[in-house]
Amino acid sequence: MSDPQGLAELVSLEGRVAVVTGGAGGIGSVVVRQLLDAGADVVSADVHGADCVEGAVQFSCDVGDICSVERLVAAVNRCWDGMDLLVHCAGITSDAVLWKMSMDAWDKVLSTNLSSAFYLLRGFAPLMRKRQRGSVVLVSSINGERGKFGQANYAASKSGLIGLARTAARELGAFGIRVNVISPGLIRTPMMDVLADEHVEAAIQETVLGRVGEPDDIARSVLFLVSEMSRHVTGQVLRVDGGQLIA
């Protein structure tokens, strides 16, 4: 017999405190709405001046700056005396082939996409340990698994998130904290708007579902990974790519 009430309880985030980085972005803003709808108190952390989703608490944070992240952690702890959920959506690109890539482009992408995740985990792990529970989702990319022409910095940063997540899953599991990765394919965000039509079409042709992914596809997967629906899942990479990278 079906149990709708039991299912609702499994996906409910009532009483949970969530932090979403890149919370004003194309994927992050939809994740914020999804977590709010599930009942969580949500902190949307993004760069200064970024719009905040209604209902979330906005906090200006440059995730590539450890001091800025430490201020975010202190503010969350001050307001809620702990936290439960971390979703790291913040990320940038700065493309060029290896021999033309500037050191600034390399450093900026690695700092924003990868070092930031270490800063966040290092800062928030004690807050989750305090509650003896928690779930972390790092948003990577299929390009971090396969590499991508002109994206040495981006691919390296997204690949690094996978190793970091699996290590964190091993270190934090004893405290009831799960750490997983979502690996999106091409998703309809402002980042996609800068791509040439032929590159978008080529990506669509790579998928087996024959379409571009939507931010909601990522948000639903995030809800699965942070809820009790996935209580025995940790250290995993969930591809949300329409079959773009089947290996």
By annotation, the residues acting in catalysis are: 154
Q: Count Cα atoms within 13 angstroms, Cβ side, for 6.
A: 3
Which candidate, 123, 122, 138, 43, places its Cα nearest to that of 88? Answer: 138
Residue partners of 84: CB distance under 8 A and separation at least 6: 16, 17, 18, 40, 128, 131, 133, 134, 135
Helix (H) or strand (E) holding 104: helix 103-110
Q: Count Cα atoms within 13 angstroms, Cβ side, for 4.
A: 0
Chain length of the chain: 247
- Please provide residue 208's backbone torsions phi and psi, each rounded to the nearest 5 degrees: -95, -15
- Strands of the 17-21 sheet, one edge to the other: 57-60, 41-46, 17-21, 85-88, 134-139, 177-184, 237-240
List the helix and strand counts (H, then E) for the chain: 10, 7
Under DSSP, the state recorded for 171 is H
- Please provide residue 44's backbone torsions phi and psi, each rounded to the nearest 5 degrees: -100, 110
